[in-house]
């Protein structure tokens, strides 16, 4: 099958390798322009090693992109970790249209920060979806879904790299096989079960220490590694990473430092303590105990 791959980063790179190893003919790779300094995106680098043409456009909306798609005479386009907008004039060109990878069980958690929000809202399972691209945001008919369990201490980073990433690459290979076999699924999404969340930013990542312990922990997990759940000490922002929730009984007020160990520090929340191993202040990410030392934080200090 003649395939155009649109994507970036390690996920698109591994998708490219999967397609080539499965014997598919990848006729071109479309990825964003090189980053400042000329560092190649991993998928670009791998494509060039394999002798596959690479196209890089600041926008995919131009007539030039459509003309390139038409000239490639592709059977299918695959969107694998795409941040650029792909317009209908492009995604409708291949013979079978285009399919897209999304890291949630659609129609739940549409949008760019699906993994963050699934964790922040305390989901115990999520998964990956391959769907047929249409003009909406993650609204197209479903082709294939794979479910994965969310462990109690998973972060956005561990959930993506350890579970959704490898499952997603395999699911793309399986999706291509379904299309090649003929009559692949096109299941209309149930809009009654749909939800869309905005990109997760600092406005969503602020820690409210008065919230229940599990809710605070879910927020921290969902914002790790980006954007980093944050609190304030003496008017300066501090972000926490690599945290754990302990159900310790205590009489401390929410947000109070109750312990500083060799590497970590513990913060009181209703129903337990948050133990932070890493933290980021003005001088970058360090061991949480080291940041406490740098910032003059001691046991009994109150975070806000």
Domain ranges of the chain: 2-193, 213-295
Q: How confident is the model at residue 62 (pLDDT cuts 50, 70, 90)?
A: very high
> How many other C-beta atoms lie within 10 A of the C-beta of residue 14?
21
> How many other C-beta atoms lie within 10 A of the C-beta of residue 69?
24
CATH number of 213-295: 3.10.25.10
- Cα 167 to Cα 149: distance, rounded to the nearest angstrom: 12
pTM check: above 0.85 = yes
pLDDT value for 36 = 85
Q: What average pLDDT does range 213-232 have in this prediction?
A: 98
Q: Does domain 2-193 have CATH number 3.40.50.170?
A: yes
pLDDT value for 45 = 97
- Strands (DSSP E) contained in the chain are 2-7, 25-31, 54-56, 76-80, 98-102, 125-132, 142-149, 229-233, 236-246, 257-260, 265-269, 272-281, 284-287
- Express each pLDDT in 89-147 by its tens digit: 999 999 999 999 999 999 999 999 999 999 999 999 999 999 999 999 999 999 999 99
Whether 213-295 and 2-193 are alike in CATH topology: the answer is no
Name residues whose C-beta falls within 8 Å of residue 276's C-beta, 6 or more positions apart in sequence: 240, 241, 242, 243, 264, 265, 266, 267, 288
Check: CB of residue 176 under 8 Å from CB of residue 21: no
The whole-chain average pLDDT of the chain stands at: 97
Edge-to-edge order in the sheet of strand 76-80: 54-56, 25-31, 2-7, 76-80, 98-102, 125-132, 142-149
- pLDDT beyond 80 at 171: yes
pLDDT value for 39 = 87
Beta bridge partners of 241: 278
Half-sphere exposure of 288 (CA within 13 A, CB side): 24
- pLDDT beyond 90 at 11: yes
pLDDT value for 40 = 92
- Express each pLDDT in 232-280 by its tens digit: 999 999 999 999 999 999 999 999 999 999 999 999 999 999 999 999 9
pLDDT value for 38 = 77
């Amino acid at each position: 099958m003649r395939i155009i791959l649109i994507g970036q980063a390690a996920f698109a790179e591994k998708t490219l390798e999967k397609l080539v190893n499965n014997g598919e003919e990848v006729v071109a790779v479309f990825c964003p322009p090189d980053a400042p300094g000329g560092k190649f995106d991993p998928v670009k680098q791998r494509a060039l090693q394999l002798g596959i043409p690479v196209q890089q456009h600041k926008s995919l909306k131009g007539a030039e992109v459509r003309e390139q798609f038409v000239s490639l005479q592709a059977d299918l386009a695959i969107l694998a970790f795409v941040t650029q907008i792909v317009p209908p004039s492009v995604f409708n060109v291949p013979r079978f249209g285009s399919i897209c990878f999304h890291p949630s069980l659609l129609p739940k958690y549409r949008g760019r920060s699906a993994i963050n929000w699934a964790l922040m809202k305390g989901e115990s399972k999520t998964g990956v979806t391959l769907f047929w691209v249409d003009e909406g945001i993650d609204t197209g008919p479903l082709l294939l879904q794979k479910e994965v369990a969310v462990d109690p201490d998973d972060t956005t980073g561990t959930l993506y790299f350890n579970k959704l990433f490898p499952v997603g690459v395999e699911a793309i290979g399986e999706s291509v096989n379904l299309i090649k076999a003929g009559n692949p699924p096109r299941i209309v999404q149930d809009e009654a079960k749909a939800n869309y969340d905005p990109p997760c930013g600092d406005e969503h990542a602020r820690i409210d220490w008065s919230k229940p312990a599990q809710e605070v922990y879910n927020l921290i997990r969902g914002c790790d590694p980006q954007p980093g759940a944050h609190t304030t000490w003496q008017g300066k922002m501090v972000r926490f990473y690599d945290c754990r929730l302990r159900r310790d009984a205590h009489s401390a007020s929410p947000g109070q430092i109750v312990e500083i160990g060799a590497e970590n520090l513990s913060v009181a929340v209703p129903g337990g303590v948050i133990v932070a191993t890493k933290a980021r202040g003005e001088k970058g990410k360090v061991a949480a105990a080291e940041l406490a030392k740098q910032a003059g934080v001691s046991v009994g200090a109150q975070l806000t």
